Chain A
């Protein structure tokens, strides 16, 4: 559970001629994670089977259709699975059919698009010509006169006059430039062109027919083409509805054929034999060996060396498997490392519930997740929504403990629950067995203190736990000495910090006085080194000799225990760090403060929750005041306020606890032991979605 699945390194050996058969069997078994190997004198990497070329060409074409049709296999729920034989039978016929029905249509659509673009350009060119108000017949076809028609940046008349005054110019403003027609005798033509070009002249093509006629002609053509395009698109769309499953089934078939045909690239091949090296999960090894033995292949178990890293196949109970996506987002653990998924599966929902802690919001999350589960069928979504369901349930449980339903119904200083909560009296009567009080009141001062203490304790425990697992991870990979230097010393250091925090708590009376200042007499009152009482110690909660006067009174046994722990940590730390980093390594000891910060960081478990409680309280308060207060009593307005307010708070209530809970795992917990960098176990073969299993 806490370790990735055990792997066995195997070599599959067989006659070279039977490699194709081996690829079929291995693909069906879907167990062997094939390793890349290096060639030597006698064994060379193979080349793909002949059928690969043909299949991959067909696949390429098919995929281009699929991508055009925007078919996403993960979004299609399978109604009917195809038999492999059925696909093989239909394959060539269907491929040519798709070529005809989709391929040709796509080509035509492409052509139409090109033509439409050309029409657009021509129409854009005709528009300025219309402004000239000269018939196109008069704009071209002269023998002794040159005519320039086009766009120009400024009026060129002055400059043209320098050449000859015997010319005609029509100039009309078009957007921020001009459209012009210049008529001049042919002999001045070239000179005029040069001048015009100096003014940024851009010639426009002149149509043969009247401009308006041409425009309406083009518009008609455009309409025809668009209609044809729409028709083609609907035809393709119809085909998509009808054929999508078969299309994807063929894609699946072809890609598995290609994968199978490419197996030799990963195999070492000699004159007569082939060898495949890879990893198989240990518990499936027997089955794997039996299956291949019976077909005449030899399966040999190899031992792997220290530096080799088998692929990681996470192995978790069904419930925890939902959380694998969250854990993998951080890193894929290495083969020998502890897999943190199961721990996360327990603590993520608890943290979420601890923060949100509201029956109403929890129910909403639960119902939303249940509803969405019926819409989003892909594996990733299902897992994520399962996490939502679990988190919703823990929120409801904590909500019951805190006594919150869309906000609290009890606040210190308020007598009547109905005053601050629209269901106040009902909720109070629900808790009648406990004198109208919830089990734990987190809005009142003692509740806040208690919760703060609980979450900080959680932080300390998880910090130590994380370091212990880090110790194990390093010990397994690099030995005891490294483990002590790298993680062990931090365990001592953090333990020292914990003692200091406990000593501080003891001094302010948390363990020796009754609520509201403490949790009762859990510990004896005389844990002071120099004798003293809690009452005296309160004045000096942090007894630092030399800095605090009268520190002797505050020195309790917790502080006394912290001293050797911190010293021991410092000695081991410096011993480990200074040879590596030189004298500057000593500065790294400051890192101990980071861990202190990270313990405090667990206070967010309290803080996030409290903020959402108070937002809910304010919304309810406004709602009750607006809706029921004599003199105002605008019930619909109150309902709108509450709907919007609780809606926003609900969204915040999913986002913030979710993210913070995730962060507490990633940053404060995983960094202590997960090194990551593992390779995911990806066996040769695939789980078929559109093709029936075992149909071969």
Chain B
């Protein structure tokens, strides 16, 4: 049965879609966990000195790259099998 499924294009398409979703979603969770620590520290720094706001925001978005990687992977998956 597994043999039959692997040959099925619909099955492959479905798996690709799930993979694309997971790539963005899980990467998002990871980036979120990363950002939470930085964000908390940045808020602390801003409370000390408001001039730190710009830099604090900047540090906070740094882990976002990981989501972008996820997104690129999901694009590639969707282009290739979608």
Contacts and interface: CB of A to CB of B under 8 A. Distances in A.
A666 B72 contact: no
A119 B73 CA distance: 71
Nearest to A658: B57
Contacts of B36: none
A329 B54 contact: yes
Nearest to A662: B58
A600 interface: yes
A663 B62 contact: yes
A329 B72 CA distance: 30
Contacts of B54: 329
Given A449-B79, A597-B65, A603 B58 contact: no
The CB with the most chain A CB atoms within 10 A, among B54, B67, B69, is that of B54
A76 interface: no
Nearest to B75: A452
Nearest to A604: B68
A601 interface: yes
B71 interface: yes
A interface SS class: helix
A448 interface: yes
A343 interface: no
A418 interface: no
Contacts of B67: 607
Contacts of B69: 597, 600
A667 B65 CA distance: 11
A658 to B, nearest CB: 9
A660 B67 CA distance: 13
Given A329-B54, A662-B58, A663-B58, A604 B64 contact: yes
Contact of B61 (A597, A603, A659): A659
Nearest to B51: A329
Nearest to A610: B71
B71 A607 contact: yes
A630 B54 CA distance: 48
Contacts of B72: 452, 600, 603
Contacts of A607: 67-68, 71
Nearest to B79: A449
A659 B68 contact: no
B15 interface: no
B10 interface: no
B68 A600 contact: yes
Interface of B: 54-55, 57-58, 61-62, 64-65, 67-69, 71-72, 75, 79
Interface of A: 329, 445, 448-449, 452, 597, 600-601, 603-604, 607, 659-660, 662-663, 666-667
